[in-house]
Amino acid sequence: MASKKMVSKNQIFRALGLKSRLKGANCGGEWFADSKDYITSVNPTTGEVLARIEQASAKDYDKVMKEARKAFLEFRNMPAPLRGEIVRQVGEALREKKDMLGALVSLEMGKIYTEGLGEVQEMIDICDFAVGLSRTLSGPTLQSERPKHRMMEQWHPLGVVGVISAFNFPVAVWAWNTALAWVCGDSSLWKPSSKTPLCAIACQNIVNEVFKANGLPQGVSCVTIGRGATIGEKLVGDHNIPLVSATGSTRMGQRIGAVVGGRLGRTILELGGNNAIIISEKADLKGALASAFFGAVGTAGQRCTSTRRLIIQEKVFDTFVRKLIANYKRVVIGNPLDPKTLMGPLIDEGAVADYENAIKAAKEQGGKVLYGGKVLKPFGAATFVQPTIIEIENKAQIVQDETFAPILYVMKYKKIAQAFKLHNDVPQGLSSAIYTDSVNEGEAFISYLGSDCGIANINIGTSGAEIGGAFGGEKETGGGRESGSDSWKLYMRRQTNTINWGGEVHLAQGVEFKS
């Protein structure tokens, strides 16, 4: 089972400054925590405890926040291109540690090594993107209606940005947010998932070295690993945090949205997806097969962008599903660090329970399991499952919910208008795709009449988006956008300036006001 090429836990720990006993709060110097409340990082492949971490207490949070605030006030004085230079160095440090950080993601989260490396590559890519951005953060000059006046927009640093990340992308999503926040002149406070604390500690260790070498103030990059009920609640309710960017379940997002909205703060919410690919009879079925396979089985179905539904034209349904099942049968399930493995474990036994409950519900709601459906135990830990295909109607309640597991629902359509309707008929709106060689079908899908998602693709799958685009969705997905395009604007404060260079005072809208 163990291949010679597999990197060991000790190698990973040594390279990334990890130990078996750690503390959960950091703002640049030593790690600290005094909660006497511990969590364990568990290898989902074996159930082995990787490390024990003392969580940050409410007091630790306050200490971190004080540093983050102080650091912001200093950091904002640094010109943006120089902040970009720091982020460039972070990108370089990540390049150096890519192999080991990718392996840690695999070890602690369970995605296969190539995907762990891909996740670190996303971090490197967003650093590169942010470096360019640091010289182009800009606002327009606008025409004033008043003589000898000019209007313009400036973008100023915002403050301390709070980042709440999920276990499934334990490093990349943090980097999407912080690389932008830092070039924008903000400091950041990260609350990672309690299921992947080591990934957070390793990232912070890498950043700390770069920041220290550059003499940056402590607190530009902060981490608090702690309970949702203490640290999470404190962070979302904290008036010192003008922007909370959170990834997770719709339920979690509803709570965060309500609390941050209640204090009129800003949120970026990247919540549940229910992503579908429409497969037309006019499609290149080979391409559709590859995309559906990666979308549904990749990361063991634990991406927000995972393909959860296939809406297939009835004439090609049987052939397509037969070929897909043939692919599923060849999936090697096992240790994610083994290069032969295509699908690793689910994150924990709770996720396996969700998988089993969803399959049971699907059967009760008229679904037919075409492949899979079983829990596997290749290593003793009950975290492995078969990737599963279920034929079922879109309106079944279970299809309307996001189950974070490799379960793919397949359904038929006759006419393309019906496919579009089925496609949008779910509460979520993150990612979507159509496979078709018809220009009309493709254009219609990405038009206002088509997909209602934040991401809509033609002849490419639902998952694996590049960092250069704005990432996020509509409806219950939360509505925020992070990563590329102009998402940076959310990390800054917009200011409209009107400048009178003529001396005479003119009131707008022609108002006269003289005594």
Catalytic residues, by residue number, are: 270, 304
Specify whether the backbone of 478 is left (phi greater than 0), alpha (psi in -120 to 50) or beta.
left
Count of C-beta atoms within a 10 Å radius of residue 261: 11
The binder of ligand UN1 chosen from 89, 106, 168, 436 (CB under 6 A): 168
When the beta carbons of 85 and 128 are compared against ligand UN1, the nearer one is 128
**Residue 165 lies near ligand UN1 (rule: CB under 6 A):** no
Which one of 167-175, 220-228, 314-322, 437-445 is the stretch in contact with ligand UN1 (CB under 6 A)? Answer: 167-175
User: What element of type H or E holds 475?
Assistant: strand 474-475
Interface with ligand UN1 (CB under 6 A), residue total 11
Which one of 78-86, 129-137, 359-367, 461-469 is the stretch in contact with ligand UN1 (CB under 6 A)? Answer: 461-469
Closest among 211, 210, 265 to 237, alpha carbons compared: 265
CA–CA separation, 112 and 108 (whole Å): 11
The binder of ligand UN1 chosen from 358, 465, 490, 492 (CB under 6 A): 465
Closest approach of ligand UN1 to the CB of residue 469, in Å: 9
When the beta carbons of 235 and 465 are compared against ligand UN1, the nearer one is 465
User: What element of type H or E holds 49?
Assistant: strand 49-54
| Phi, psi dihedral angles at 34 (to 5 degrees) | -135, 35
The binder of ligand UN1 chosen from 253, 344, 367, 464 (CB under 6 A): 464
Q: What residue type is 372 in one-letter code?
A: G
When the beta carbons of 226 and 248 are compared against ligand UN1, the nearer one is 248
HEC profile of 175-234: HHHHHHHHHCCCEEEEECCCCCHHHHHHHHHHHHHHHHHCCCCCCCEEEECCCHHHHHHH
Q: Name the 3-class secondary structure at 83.
A: helix
The binder of ligand UN1 chosen from 68, 124, 304, 381 (CB under 6 A): 304
The DSSP 8-state label assigned to residue 29 in this structure reads S
Q: What residue type is 206 in one-letter code?
A: I
When the beta carbons of 124 and 210 are compared against ligand UN1, the nearer one is 124
Asked if 279 contacts 322 with a C-beta cutoff of 8 angstroms, the reply is no
Taking the mean position of all CA atoms in its chain, how far away is CA 99?
21
Of 100-129, which residues contact ligand UN1 (CB under 6 A)? 122
When the beta carbons of 236 and 304 are compared against ligand UN1, the nearer one is 304
Of 215-254, which residues contact ligand UN1 (CB under 6 A)? 247
When the beta carbons of 346 and 465 are compared against ligand UN1, the nearer one is 465
When the beta carbons of 169 and 320 are compared against ligand UN1, the nearer one is 169
Closest approach of ligand UN1 to the CB of residue 130, in Å: 16
Beta strands 243-247 and 266-270, pairing class: parallel
| Joined tokens for residue 76 | 């904002």
Closest approach of ligand UN1 to the CB of residue 464, in Å: 5
When the beta carbons of 304 and 410 are compared against ligand UN1, the nearer one is 304
Closest among 88, 35, 93 to 64, alpha carbons compared: 35
Asked if 210 contacts 181 with a C-beta cutoff of 8 angstroms, the reply is no
Of 274-303, which residues contact ligand UN1 (CB under 6 A)? 303
- The CA-CA-CA angle for residues 232, 237, 239, to 5°, reads 130
How many residues are there in the chain?
515
Count of C-beta atoms within a 10 Å radius of residue 374: 12
**Residue 45 lies near ligand UN1 (rule: CB under 6 A):** no
Closest approach of ligand UN1 to the CB of residue 470, in Å: 12
- What character string, x for contact with ligand UN1 (CB under 6 A) and - otherwise, covers 309-338? ------------------------------
Closest approach of ligand UN1 to the CB of residue 122, in Å: 6
**Residue 454 lies near ligand UN1 (rule: CB under 6 A):** no
Closest approach of ligand UN1 to the CB of residue 246, in Å: 11
**Residue 463 lies near ligand UN1 (rule: CB under 6 A):** yes
CA–CA separation, 43 and 106 (whole Å): 9
| Joined tokens for residue 33 | 């925590």
The binder of ligand UN1 chosen from 194, 305, 335, 383 (CB under 6 A): 305
**Residue 193 lies near ligand UN1 (rule: CB under 6 A):** no
- What character string, x for contact with ligand UN1 (CB under 6 A) and - otherwise, covers 372-411? ----------------------------------------
- What character string, x for contact with ligand UN1 (CB under 6 A) and - otherwise, covers 411-450? ----------------------------------------
168: Cβ–Cβ under 8 A, 6 or more apart, which residues? 109, 111, 299, 302, 303, 304, 347, 404
The binder of ligand UN1 chosen from 169, 294, 328, 409 (CB under 6 A): 169
When the beta carbons of 367 and 473 are compared against ligand UN1, the nearer one is 473
Asked if 34 contacts 59 with a C-beta cutoff of 8 angstroms, the reply is yes
User: What element of type H or E holds 122?
Assistant: helix 113-133
Beta strands 160-164 and 38-42, pairing class: unpaired
Which residues make up the interface to ligand UN1 (CB under 6 A)? Answer: 122, 168-169, 173, 247, 303-305, 463-465
